Amino acid sequence: MGASTRRDCGTREQRIFSNHQRLTLMTATIAPPWSGAPTHLLYHPAAANAHHVPHTPPGGVLAHLERLEAESRKKFEEPQGAESALGNKIRNLRSLRDKLRAEVNRRQAGVEASVESDQTFEVSEQEVLERKRENVKSILQAYRFTGLSGKLTSRGVCVSISTAFEGNLLDSYFVDLVIQKPLRIHHHSIPVFIPLEEIAAKYLQSNIQHFLFSLCEYLNAYSGRKYQADQLQSDFAAFLAGPLQRNSLCNLLSFTYKAEPSGQSFPFCARLLYKDITRTLPTDVTVTYQGTDALSTSWEEQRASHENLFCTKPLHQVFASFARREEKLDMNLLY
Amino acid sequence: KEMDEIVAEFIKRTILKIPMAEMMTILKAWDFLSESQLQTINFRKRKESLVHDLVMLCEEKHANVNDAALLDIIYTQFHRHQKVWDVFQMTKEPGEDIDLFDMKQFKSSFKKILQRALKNVSVTFKDAEENAVWIRIAWGTQCKKPNQYKPTYVVYYSQTPYAFISSSRLRSSIPLLGQALTVASKHHRIVKMDFRSRYLDSLKAIVFKQYNQTFETHNATTPLQERNLGLDINLDSRIIHENIIEKDRVQRVTQEIFGDYPQPRLEFAQYKLETKFKSDLNRGILAERKEPLRCLVKFSSPNLLEALKSLAPAGIADAPLSPLLTCIPQKRMNYFKIKDK
């Protein structure tokens, strides 16, 4: 333990010593910064001889004094001439400066005038371009109303399919395509029960247009069927005698209803099958009567006509017509 | 009819599992005890006596095994992470007609198939959102009544080929369950995918390809999220990052592979390797072998995909990552068997 500390002390001492060395070296070579003129630390006899120390002049003291007087007169006169010459020079330079300044100002004004006119021109052009850009943006945004639109992406295109039914804009679905060989779908928002893989397998590589139109067909039909079922549940709930049974694709609907909710009509059971999921009208309709007695002819006629109605008209429109008949009956009762 | 002792015990044990904070929510979702009945309960009591009171109320209402099973389903729906879920995929014969799915028909068909095969089995259904159905099956044998404490759960999304089944030790029941599902949903074959997790919602998001729902459109009202991989980038302009070109490349590649969206949550990926051992050294005990080296590599994380996403930006791995790791959502797999080509 003792030996090592001593060694440490030694090294510490060494380091300090070397610092000192450096410091002293510095002071020896560089003059302190606060001195103005270069200082000479040592008085050098050779330097002393130059100009500073006077010695005895030739011709005596008087002659020397005369010489000094002549020198001073010369020095007095010289500035006069020099002064006028310098004064002229100054005046010339000043006038030249003023001329140049005037020229600069003149040219500056000219440039500013031209720049201003350019700027005003640019501003109006910019406004026009901005308006054009906004216009194009709005047109691109409005394209969604055509049902099929898209936007270029870094890897391909993102296609938007906006579905509609009877003029009502419904849900939008997206397919992000990567433009490569082979063409592939990066990600999408198509519901899992729509046969996207089937449609892609058939058309995506061979005919992209067919792929998109086919997908549009399936999605619009699904949206339309969903819309009809939603309308029935929301607007015509009074006509339903029980919950509406439906499935994901809205291609099987089953419900019990009364054509006249307030009246004495019998409840009918309707079962609508949409075997073609590219259509919004059912392919098979069965309307049955849930009673034990046989139906009278008038009720049988009604049942058959309802079956026909469900086959040919959208679901909510059938119920809307029931509602109108109800109103008419009410009106008749008033009179 | 008096409430069965077995049912009473079953209800008691189920209610005991429910944490106090969730008690009211779950009982309301169960919708078996009325509002007025629930108001008579003092929820500040000690849990044991509270449970006793609730069981009494259930007895008053003559709860049966089906009611108890429904409560169990609701509890499991709230605590779905307590089970490990497998994913099964069904296929149809090509050229099959469009699926006209009738939920009533499905349920009755499913139940019949199981009850025809097993004398003692109890099946309970609960409808869920997106036209899905939760099915609870308690298995018995020819002689024994169904064991209510080891049920199997099936979550089936109608008009899709996918079913999520809770892992159970009762391996013998799986083929029958698969058959019942396939026939009732009008499919032909069922196959177990190499995809398993506790996080049912993540499995669904990946299998249904719903995990990336950001799309570039002209009508976007919200701007695309800034590419922020959660790194603490020093915003002081006086500090310049070394290798900023490389850092940018890594960020770009990571964003291309993993996207801007939050990753669905998985907790592990498992790779079974049956490949020949490759070594840089010319000699080694393992290098000379002709047979493949069998080993199992398992990656675990509270959120595996987020962890993988952060590897390259953190400097721990090169970008792009190995496709064996990044293919998990696209391939819908987290169990891999790797052999030499």
The shortest C-alpha distance from A245 to chain B (Å) reads 8
- Which of A247, A255, A278 is the best residue to mutate to test the B interface, defined by the most B CB atoms within 10 Å of its own CB? A247
Q: Would you say residue A11 has pLDDT above 90?
A: no
Residues A189 and A251 in one domain: no
According to DSSP, the residues that pair with A240 across neighbouring strands are: A257
If interface means Cβ-Cβ distance under 8 Å, which residues of chain A face chain B?
Answer: 137, 140-141, 143-144, 149, 151, 153, 158, 160, 174, 176, 187-189, 192-193, 245-249, 251-252, 254, 273-277
Into how many domains does chain A fold? Answer: 2
Instruction: Determine the pLDDT at residue A116.
Output: 73
Q: Do A249 and B212 touch (CB under 8 A)?
A: no
pLDDT band at B168 (very low <50, low <70, confident <90, very high): confident
Of A176, A248, A277, the CB nearest to B131: A248
DSSP state string for A107-164: HHHHHHHHHHHHHHHHHHHHHHHHHHHHHHHHHHHHGGGGSEEEEE-SSEEEEEEEEE
Instruction: Determine the pLDDT at residue A121.
Output: 65
Q: Would you say residue A321 has pLDDT above 60?
A: yes
**Does the residue A41 lie in any domain?**
no
SS (H, E, C) A71-94: HHHHHHHHHHHHHHHHHHHHHHHH
Instruction: Determine the pLDDT at residue A38.
Output: 47
**Does the residue A194 lie in any domain?**
yes
Q: Would you say residue A229 has pLDDT above 90?
A: yes
Q: Which amino acid is at A204?
A: L
Q: Would you say residue B124 has pLDDT above 70?
A: yes
**Does the residue A213 lie in any domain?**
yes
Q: Would you say residue B232 has pLDDT above 60?
A: no
**3-class SS shares of chain B: helix, strand, coil, % to 5:** 35, 20, 45
**Does the residue A190 lie in any domain?**
yes
The shortest C-alpha distance from A26 to chain B (Å) reads 35
- Which of A135, A192, A226, A276 is the best residue to mutate to test the B interface, defined by the most B CB atoms within 10 Å of its own CB? A192
Q: Domain ends where: A174, A202, A223?
A: A223
**Does the residue A244 lie in any domain?**
yes
Q: Which amino acid is at B87?
A: V
Residues A176 and A262 in one domain: no
Residues A155 and A244 in one domain: no
Instruction: Determine the pLDDT at residue B283.
Output: 65
Q: What are the chain A neighbours of B210 within 8 Å (beta carbons)?
A: 189, 192
Instruction: Determine the pLDDT at residue A120.
Output: 65
Instruction: Determine the pLDDT at residue A84.
Output: 85
Q: Would you say residue A35 has pLDDT above 60?
A: no
**What average pLDDT does the structure give for chain A?**
82
**Does the residue A281 lie in any domain?**
yes
Dihedral angle, C-alpha A247, A252, A254, A257, nearest 10 °: 110
**Does the residue A267 lie in any domain?**
yes
Instruction: Determine the pLDDT at residue B18.
Output: 94
Instruction: Determine the pLDDT at residue A56.
Output: 62
Q: Do A275 and B100 touch (CB under 8 A)?
A: yes
The shortest C-alpha distance from A253 to chain B (Å) reads 9
ipTM entry: 0.86
Give pLDDT tens digits for B288-305.
677 888 899 999 999 999
Q: Do A254 and B102 touch (CB under 8 A)?
A: yes
DSSP 3-state of A103? helix
Instruction: Determine the pLDDT at residue B182.
Output: 95
Q: What are the chain A neighbours of B208 within 8 Å (beta carbons)?
A: 192
DSSP 3-state of A173? strand
Q: What does the angle CA B290 – CA B296 – CA B300 come to, to the nearest 5 degrees?
A: 155
Give start and end residues of each alpha helix (H) in chain A.
Answer: 2-29, 45-49, 60-142, 196-203, 208-235, 297-312, 315-334
pLDDT band at B252 (very low <50, low <70, confident <90, very high): very high
Q: What is the architecture, at CATH level 2, of domain B85-208? A: 4-Layer Sandwich (3.60)
Q: What are the chain A neighbours of B97 within 8 Å (beta carbons)?
A: 275
- Which of A152, A199, A248 is the best residue to mutate to test the B interface, defined by the most B CB atoms within 10 Å of its own CB? A248
DSSP 3-state of A221? helix
Instruction: Determine the pLDDT at residue A177.
Output: 95
Q: Would you say residue A193 has pLDDT above 90?
A: yes
**Does the residue A47 lie in any domain?**
no
Of B100, B104, B215, the CB nearest to A176: B215
Instruction: Determine the pLDDT at residue A55.
Output: 61
HSE-CB of A201 using CA atoms within 13 angstroms: 4
Q: What are phi and psi of B288, to 5 degrees?
A: -85, -10
Q: Do B103 and A245 touch (CB under 8 A)?
A: yes
Q: Do A151 and B218 touch (CB under 8 A)?
A: yes
Q: Do B215 and A252 touch (CB under 8 A)?
A: no
Q: Is the peptide bond before B313 cis (omega within 30 degrees of 0)?
A: no
Q: Do B216 and A143 touch (CB under 8 A)?
A: no
* Better-predicted residue by pLDDT, B76 or B237: B76
DSSP state string for B187-209: -SEEEEEEEEES-HHHHHHHHTT
Mean pLDDT (whole number) for A137-146: 89
Residues A217 and A251 in one domain: no
Tokens 């497998």 correspond to B86
Q: Are strands B335-339 and B162-166 parallel, antiparallel or unpaired?
A: unpaired
Report d(CA A319, CA A309) in Å as an integer: 10
Cα–Cα distances (Å) from B268 to A147, B76, B298, B299, B318, in that order, read: 42, 22, 7, 5, 21
Q: Domain ends where: A180, A198, A223?
A: A223
pLDDT band at A23 (very low <50, low <70, confident <90, very high): very low
Cα–Cα distances (Å) from B165 to A27, B135, B298, in that order, read: 88, 9, 23
Q: What are the chain A neighbours of B219 within 8 Å (beta carbons)?
A: 141, 144, 160
Q: Would you say residue A34 has pLDDT above 80?
A: no
Which domain range does residue A209 map to? 148-223
* Better-predicted residue by pLDDT, B98 or A128: A128
Give pLDDT tens digits for B189-217.
999 999 999 999 999 999 999 999 989 88
Q: What are phi and psi of B296, to 5 degrees?
A: -120, 125
Q: Domain ends where: A223, A256, A272?
A: A223
Q: Would you say residue B337 has pLDDT above 90?
A: yes
According to DSSP, the residues that pair with B137 across neighbouring strands are: B123, B152
Q: Do B216 and A158 touch (CB under 8 A)?
A: yes
Report d(CA B259, CA B135) in Å as an integer: 35
Q: Which residues make Cβ contacts (< 8 Å) with residue B182, sequence separation at least 6?
A: B90, B188, B189, B190
Q: Do B97 and A252 touch (CB under 8 A)?
A: no
Q: Are strands B335-339 and B268-275 parallel, antiparallel or unpaired?
A: parallel
Instruction: Determine the pLDDT at residue A50.
Output: 47
Q: What is the architecture, at CATH level 2, of domain B245-339? A: Roll (3.10)
